Chain A
Amino acid sequence: NAGVTQTPKFQVLKTGQSMTLQCAQDMNHNSMYWYRQDPGMGLRLIYYSASEGTTDKGEVPNGYNVSRLNKREFSLRLESAAPSQTSVYFCASSETSAKQGFAQYFGPGTRLTVT
């Protein structure tokens, strides 16, 4: 099992460009999440999907959109990138969060720089 995979690993964008970060999990998990991590800071939740067909905002959703394409895949889109979105982006999944005992499994991250 690959676990949680993310593409691309690195990306450089110019201000105003758009892009989509891809995430897939092969663990048959119901819930998926997108976080960002800025230098020296903890992770902040951008959006999450409790189950296929649903998405909800996290702490810092402005400037982002998400799509839960199917049970396996959860993408994050930046419509008009800004330098403030320079960060490392992590995708995660969990069997379900309704039962708090389930752990989150994280991908390796995408390092995004917006110039």
Chain B
Amino acid sequence: DAKTTQPNSMESNEEEPVHLPCNHSTISGTDYIHWYRQLPSQGPEYVIHGLTSNVNNRMASLAIAEDRKSSTLILHRATLRDAAVYYCILISSGTYKYIFGTGTRLKVLA
């Protein structure tokens, strides 16, 4: 299974953009990049996913490098409610296994 590498923790000021990086140098051509987040004492929540092109939704944007070996989750205006652990996951073609790493703990400062 392809692996991802994320920083253990990051901080951001409220109402500023946040860029959460993820390295996945062993990604294969059919691997999708998924992002989830986990708020304290809750189950994980889907954020966004993509394959090759950048993606936007109401929660965030996903920027994928041209060589696909890295990606960045962008929260356009961080709020206190965005404080969570963010997981970057690679999903291989035809697999049912979602392998979660330890993620990035985002702290948002008021």
A: residues with CB less than 8 A from B are: 4, 31, 33, 35, 40-45, 48, 50, 56, 58-59, 90, 92, 97-98, 100-101, 103-109
Contact = CB atoms under 8 A, between A and B. Distances in A.
A114 B97 CA distance: 27
Given A33-B98, A42-B102, A45-B99, A101 B42 contact: no
Interface of B: 31-32, 34, 36, 42-46, 49, 51, 87, 91-103
B97 A58 contact: yes
A29 B77 CA distance: 33
Contact of B100 (A4, A35, A50, A101): A35
B96 A106 contact: no
B100 A43 contact: yes
22 contacts: A40-B102, A41-B102, A42-B101, A42-B102, A43-B87, A43-B100, A56-B96, A58-B97, A90-B44, A92-B43, A97-B96, A100-B31, A100-B32, A100-B34, A101-B49, A103-B34, A103-B46, A103-B49, A104-B46, A106-B44, A107-B43, A108-B43
Contact of A42 (B32, B34, B87, B97): B87
B96 A48 contact: yes
B42 A59 contact: no
A41 B101 CA distance: 8
A69 to B, nearest CB: 18
Contacts of A42: 87, 100-103
A56 to B, nearest CB: 7
Contacts of B44: 43, 90, 92, 104, 106
Nearest to A59: B99
A59 B96 CA distance: 12
Q: Which 5 residue pairs spanning A and B have beta carbons closest together?
A: A106-B43, A103-B46, A100-B32, A43-B100, A42-B100
